[in-house]
Amino acid sequence: MGKSLTYKILESHIVEGTLDSGSEITIKIDQTLTQDSTGTMVYLQLEAMNVEKIKTEISVAYIDHNTLQTGFENADDHAFIKSVAQRHGILFSKPGNGICHQLHLENYGKPGKTLLGSDSHTPTGGGLGMIAMGAGGLDVAVAMAEGTYSLIVPKVINVKLTGKLNPWVSAKDIILYVLKNLSVKGGVGKVVEYTGDGVAALSVTDRATITNMGAELGATTSLFPSDKNTEDYLRSQGRPEDYIALSADPDATYDEILEVNLSELEPLAAKPHSPDNVDSVKNIGEIKIDQVAIGSCTNSSYSDLMKVANILKGKKIHPDVSLVISPGSSKILSKMAENGALAHMIHAGARIIENACGPCIGMGQAPKSGGVSLRSFNRNFKGRSGTADADVYLVSPETAAISAITGVLSDGRKFGNLSSIKDETFEYNDNFIVYPGIQEKGDIPIEMGPNIKPFPLNKSLTNVVQGKVVLKTGDNITTDDIMPSNAKLLPYRSNIPFLSKYCFIGIDEDFSKRCDDNEGGIIIGGDNYGQGSSREHAALVPLYLGIKFILAKSFARIHRSNLINSGIIPLVFENLQDYDHIQLLDELIIENAIDQVKKGKVTIKNKTKNETYASQSNLSELELEMILKGGKINTIKTK
C-alpha cells in the first residue's frame, strides 16, 4: 500500500511515536519563522528557557506586521527581536524586506523539509513540497530550543486536480472552490495534499496561494509535490541546489478525496464575512465597490502583480475606487521598478504601499463606513479590515484589478484574454538581512523597551476548579474576536496587561471588567472556537484575566494548542444540547479535577441551576502533562 507525500515527509522526521492516524508523534523541525506581531512573545519565551544555541537548521525573524511606527512601541519590539536574534543565531529580516511567507518561499524554503511558524499562514511553504505548519509562539520557541514539535498524526485529504485553468481563473479560485466544498472547519485534524494531472499547470506561487489559504480550512497544513515546476522556481531564485523531486506513491491511500476539474472553474469570490461563503462573481453580480486591495501573503507574488500590471496598463482606476497594492517582497518591487510594471500601476492611479502585511491585518487602509472592499487576501472576518460595518469580498488579483477599473465587481472573462507572464530570474539580495553576531551569547545585550511586559504564567491544576461564566459565544469565534488585531492595538502585542482591556471588545465590551469583578471565570464557546490566526495572545490574555477553562462545542487546532500551552483546559461538550442550558454568570465547578482530567471524562456541575454536564478533555499524554503543571513553560522548567 503506497504512502502519501505527507506521510513520507513525516516519517523521515519522526523522533518519537509511530505514524498511525490519531496517535501522537514528535518530529524534527528543520526551520522556523516568526513575525513581529507574535515574535516578541516568542523571543521572551525563548529567553525564559535560557537556551545557549538553537537546534534548527535555519530560523528567521521577519518584521512585516507592525511596520507602522506612530510611536516607539513597534520600533522597540523590532529592536528587542533583533537583539535576541543576534544572541541565538537567528536571521533578522528588516522592515521593508517583505512579507514573511513570500520571503521564506523565495529564499529559504526547501522541498521535504519541516517548517514551523508563529503565523497561521506558514503552510504557504507547502507550495514547495514542505510540511509547513502554523503554531503558537511558545511551540515555535520550543522548536528552536529543542528542535522538535509534537502533533497528532493527521488524516490526509487528497484534492485531485484535473484539467487546466481558463483565462481569468486562477489559483485563488481553486482554493475558494475547495473552501466552498469543505468549509472553514473541514480541514481540522487533517492535511490537504494536492495531486493529479492539473498540478503540472500550476506554478510554485500558484501552489503557495492555495496552501496559504489552506489555513482557512482549519487544516494542519497543505502541500504539493516537488516537481519540474519546483525546480524551475528554485532556479529562478538562484538556488537550484535546494531542489529534490518528491511525490506521493502512485497507489497512495487517503482518508478523503475531493476531485476538482480546473477546466470547469470560474472566477469566484468569498462574500462577507467568511472565507467559505463562496459564490461565482457572475452570480454575485456587478455590485458597486469603494476599495480594492491587492497583496498579502496570499497574492503578492511576482506573477500575481505582473498580471495586475498588465491589466492596468494604459487604463485608469474608476473615480469612485481607491486601489492599494502591497508587493510581497523587496525583490519583487525592485524587479517591477526595473521592467516598468510599477509605472503602469502608478499611471493607472494605484497607491503603492510598503512591502508588508498592511491592510490584510487591519494595519491601515480601512474602508469607509459601510464600504465595499475587494481584497486578494485570505480572511474577511467582520471588522478585520478596521471598519466594523464594511463588506469585504475575497477575490483573485485578476478579478480585483479589472474591478478597480470598472468600479463594480467584474467577471474578467468579458474583457478578452490575459497577456502571458514572462519568466524572470532573480538575484539574491540580502541587504535587508541582519546575520547573527559572532560574539558569545552573554556579550550581546537584550534591548527591552518600556512597553514590553512579561508574559503571564499559570499555576498547577488544583483539585477543584470553579468560577462563574463570564462569556458565552456563538459559533466560529475567531482569534480576531478574542484578541482584536488592528492598527490601534498591534503596537501593544508585547503588553498583555494593556491588551487585557480589549479582550472580546467586539463581542462583549464588559468582558474584561466582568473577569476583574469575578476573579476570572469560565467561557462557554460554540463550534470551531478560536478559528483564524495563530496568535497566542488569544490564550495569554484570557490567562491573564483568570480564565480557568473553556467549554465549547469544538475548537480550532492552533487555538486549542495555545490554550493547553497556557494551562487553560479546553473541554468539549459530550451533549451539544447542554450548551443551551448554560447562561451568563452561572457558577460552574469541577470537583476532583485532576483525576477527571486524567481520565479524559470531566463532569461539570452548574451550582446555579443544579445541573451536571458531561465533557471530554481529549488530551494526549504530553498535553495532559502541560495541563497538570499549568502550561508548557512550567512543564519545561520541571525538566
465-638 topology per CATH: Aconitase; domain 4 (3.20.19)
268-412 topology per CATH: Aconitase; domain 3 (3.30.499)
Q: What is the mean pLDDT of residues 499-521?
A: 97
> pLDDT at position 94, please?
97
Confidence of residue 438 (pLDDT cuts 50, 70, 90): low
> pLDDT at position 535, please?
86
With contact defined as beta carbons under 8 Å apart, do 363 and 66 qualify? yes
Write the pLDDT tens digit of every residue in 410-435. 999 999 888 888 778 898 889 999 99
Answer with the residue of higher pLDDT: 50 or 56.
56
> pLDDT at position 138, please?
95
Using DSSP's 3-state secondary structure scheme, residue 632 falls into: helix
The residue with cell 520600533 is 75
Contacts of residue 354, defined as CB under 8 A and 6 or more positions apart, other chains included, come to: 67, 95, 96, 326
HEC-encoded secondary structure of 303-321: HHHHHHHHHHCCCCCCCCC
Write the pLDDT tens digit of every residue in 264-306. 999 999 999 999 999 999 999 999 999 999 999 999 999 999 9
> pLDDT at position 441, please?
66
Q: Which CA distances in Å does 110 have to 167, 241, 280?
A: 30, 10, 35
Where residue 580 falls (left for φ over 0; alpha for ψ -120 to 50; beta otherwise) is alpha
> pLDDT at position 420, please?
81
Which architecture does CATH list for 11-153?
2-Layer Sandwich (3.30)
Write the pLDDT tens digit of every residue in 304-363. 999 999 999 999 999 999 999 999 999 999 999 999 999 999 999 999 999 999 889 888
The CATH number of the domain covering residues in 154-265:
3.40.1060.10
CA–CA separation, 412 vs 416, rounded Å? 8
CA–CA separation, 504 vs 512, rounded Å? 8
CA–CA separation, 506 vs 500, rounded Å? 13
User: Domain ranges in the chain?
Assistant: 11-153, 154-265, 268-412, 465-638
Taking the CA atoms of 438, 439, 441 and 447 in sequence, report the sign of the dihedral they define: negative
What residues does 223 pair with on adjacent strands? Answer: 193
Give the lowest-confidence range in 37-51, 104-118, 468-482, 613-627.
37-51
Give percent of the chain with pLDDT exceeding 90.
89
Does 268-412 match 11-153 at the fold level? yes
- Whole-model pTM? 0.94
